[in-house]
Structure formats: structure tokens, C-alpha cells
Structure 1
Amino acid sequence: MMQQFYPSVPHGFRFELNKDMNFSAAHFIPSKDAGQCQEMHGHTYFVNVTIGGDTVDASGFLIDFKQIKQAIHKKYDHSVLNNHPEFKDKFPTTELLAEQIWQTIQDLLMATENKPFCLQVIVRETPTSYVIYRPRKEDFR
């Protein structure tokens, strides 16, 4: 596997965790502005999640890498993104997919004792195109 380095997000946390993963999914963007993307098509999405925190859990983790992968892979792999409830009233663009992945991860983190934060999510749709989602400070609950 070729190592990928992504833009980092400035933060003051003691620990930073990055998890890379991928999943395959289909989608379509039902808008005349989407051109060919109006038709159903698929991607192998590559995702990077950055998590920061000052405190580790009893096992010494910000969060176990496995939990991050399970939360995203299980949810989206081999699915049609348009069929997910979070995309009921909006199109499953790469931008909005990155935001939804952030929300899923942040909800998972808030359920932990040490409560780290998801600082950024990067979703690569093609080898040459990716989106970065970074929450605003007020998005952290």
C-alpha cells in the first residue's frame, strides 16, 4: 500500500490519531448541474479520519482503530449512498459524505470516557479528487 500524506489540521491536543480506510459505494446526484454524475455510478472511496485528544482510555487508546473502521465500513460499504437516511433530503456528494462520516465518528467519540474529537475527515473519490471536512469549534459538543 502506498502511504498517503494529507494536509494536517492545527490543534493543541497531546495526541493525534489518523485512520485510513476504504469502501466501495454507488451514488447519483439528481441535479442537472451534476452532468454525468446524474447517472448511477460507483467509487472506491478512500477516507482519512484525524482524531485529537489529551487523554487516552484505560487501554491507552484515543479510540481503537478497529472501532473507527467498523463504524464507517459497516455503514457504507457496498451500498447506494442515496438510500441512506442521512441523504434523504440532500444529494450524496463527496462534500456531504465527508460531513456525515465526521458526524458518525464524532458521535462514536462522544460515547467514550475520554471524549476525543474528530478534527478532520478527508474523502478521496478518485485518484485526483478529494474533499476535506473540518468542523467549526461550535460543532464539538
Structure 2
Amino acid sequence: MRARLSKEFTFEAAHTLPTLPEDHKCRQMHGHTFRLKITVEGEVDESIGWVYDHKRISDAMKPHLDRLDHAYLNDIEGLESPTIERLAAWFWRKLEGDLPGLAEIEIYETPISSCVFRGEF
């Protein structure tokens, strides 16, 4: 049996989007409460009944959340122009080695605006 499981996280951060036109409001420094949903997929281990422990996702995310929480994202290598699309790809690269079966990362920068990334570069 195959299953998908997801775990959500939040962090607070500021950023600017320097490649936007001068008069675009998002070119100015602003912040968000980012919400991430990490989804993995795999075979259910019948001996315990799950794909794997949600704590494994939390452990893989911890150093990245510690680095990003209350940070200025533009100062982080690889996030010099941190759109949510680029942020999703950044997380994918950081997590794919630690989370076999990583299937999807969804990032919300507002409660109604999100990006879904499935590892296609």
C-alpha cells in the first residue's frame, strides 16, 4: 500500500524582490508568516503501519527553519531574490537527501497565495 503524508510548518521572515519594477510594492522590504506543507510518499511499512514517522520530517526541517525564522531572506545564499517559487526549490534541494519519497512542497506567503513545487528543475 502506498500513502502520502504531510506536515506543516511556519516561520516569520522579511524579504525584498529586487528584480521587480521600482514602483512595485513587493520591491520594498516586507515580511510574511510563511506556511510550508512538506509531503512525502512511499510504501506503508506494514509492521508499523506508516510511511515513516512525522518526526523525521520535523528533524529534517529544523535546521532550515532555525536559519530562516526572523531572518532577511535575501541574505541567505540561493535566496537573493526570494520569490515563493525560489523558496520552494531551495527547500527541495535542502530536503531531498534527508526525506526519501519527497513528493511536494507547498509554500504560502499569505493565507490565500501559495506555490506548489514537485522537484522539477
What band does the TM-score fall into relative to the shorter chain?
Answer: 0.7 to 0.9
**Matched residue, 1:8:** none
Matched, 1:33 2:33: no
Distance apart, 1:55 and its partner CA:
6.2
Residue number in structure 1 paired with 2:38: 49
Task: With the length of structure 2 as denominator, give the TM-score of the two structures.
Answer: 0.81
Instruction: Give the whole-Å Cα distance in 1 for the aligned partners of 2:70 and 2:35.
Output: 14
Instruction: Please give the alpha-carbon distance, in whole angstroms, between the structure 2 residues aligned to 1:51 and 1:86.
Output: 24
The number of equivalent residue pairs is 116
Structure with more of its chain in strand, by fraction: 2
Partners in 2 of 1:29 and 1:66 — Cα distance? 29
Per-residue CA deviations over 1:35-57 (Å, capped at 9, x if unaligned) read 1111111000011010112265x
**How far is 1:134 from its partner?**
1.1
Q: Percent identity?
A: 29
Post-superposition shift, 1:14?
A: 1.6
Equivalent in 57, 71, 84 of residue 79 of structure 1:
71
Higher helix share: 1
Aligned to 1:97: 87
Unmatched segments (≥5 aa) in structure 2: none
**1:128 maps to 2:117:** no
Q: Which sections of structure 1, spanning at least 5 residues, go unmatched?
A: 1-12, 110-115
TM score, norm. by length of structure 1: 0.71
